[in-house]
């Protein structure tokens, strides 16, 4: 029976410890979660000066996104644009500023969106139906890109967050919401 020398055993334990330490501090993906959507104002406007009536939408809302960083180092995310759609038509966009988030913490990004005078004439029939039944389906999409870096180890991430929102345009209440996020490495 061969005996293992103390030096070799110590080296094996040291290598194993370094491996466990590197695994524990490896860069991980942040978690993005849509917390809430608040509709602050909704107004339909009509322009009767033309032969066919033109419909305009004014809307104000905000979306809160919680970002959780599970890393032992800060993460950076790039500036991006959040888009709001109605029946596949772009209603408006909001700027999400670039930022740095500290290690092992959560932060809530509040993105205000103001939509002024967006022409919605192609959806006049749908808008009238939605206002009368007090349910309007909106969709928001944001693509967040960034990285978590440690020494020479750079871990890039890209998250697409989609949110389907059903709102009451009369009472400005969020009736139903469904969120999906897709992480791409």
pLDDT of residue 164: 87
Q: Report the Cα–Cα distance between both ends of the chain, in Å, rounded.
A: 49
The encoded tokens of residue 106 equal: 């959560």
* pLDDT per residue as tens, the chain (185 positions): 566 788 888 888 888 888 887 777 667 778 777 787 777 777 777 777 767 667 777 878 888 888 888 878 888 889 999 888 888 888 888 888 888 888 888 989 888 888 776 766 677 788 778 888 888 888 888 888 888 776 777 778 888 888 888 888 777 777 887 777 666 65
d(C-alpha 25, C-alpha 19), whole Å: 10
pLDDT of residue 142: 86
Residue 48 backbone dihedrals phi, psi, to 5 degrees = -100, 10
Q: Domain segments of the chain: what residues?
A: 6-184
pLDDT of residue 2: 64
Q: Who contacts 87 (Cβ-Cβ below 8 Å, separation ≥6)?
A: 123, 126, 137
pLDDT of residue 181: 67
Within 10 Å of residue 91's Cβ, how many Cβ atoms? 20
């Amino acid at each position: 029976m061969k005996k293992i020398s103390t030096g070799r055993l110590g080296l094996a334990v040291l290598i194993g410890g370094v491996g466990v330490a590197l695994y524990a501090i490896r860069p991980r993906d942040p978690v993005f979660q849509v917390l809430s959507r608040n509709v602050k104002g909704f107004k339909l406007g009509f322009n009767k000066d033309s032969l066919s009536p033109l419909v305009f939408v004014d809307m104000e809302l905000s979306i809160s996104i919680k970002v959780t960083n599970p890393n032992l180092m800060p993460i950076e995310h790039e500036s991006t644009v959040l888009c709001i759609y109605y029946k596949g038509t772009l209603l408006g966009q909001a700027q999400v500023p670039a930022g740095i988030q500290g290690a092992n913490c959560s932060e809530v990004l509040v993105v205000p969106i103001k939509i002024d005078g967006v022409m919605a004439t192609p959806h006049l029939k749908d808008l009238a139906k939605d206002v009368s039944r007090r349910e309007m389906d909106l969709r928001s999409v944001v693509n967040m890109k960034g990285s978590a870096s440690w020494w020479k180890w750079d871990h890039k991430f890209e998250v697409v967050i989609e949110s389907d929102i059903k709102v009451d345009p009369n009472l400005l209440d969020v009736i139903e919401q469904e969120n999906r996020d897709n992480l791409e490495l």
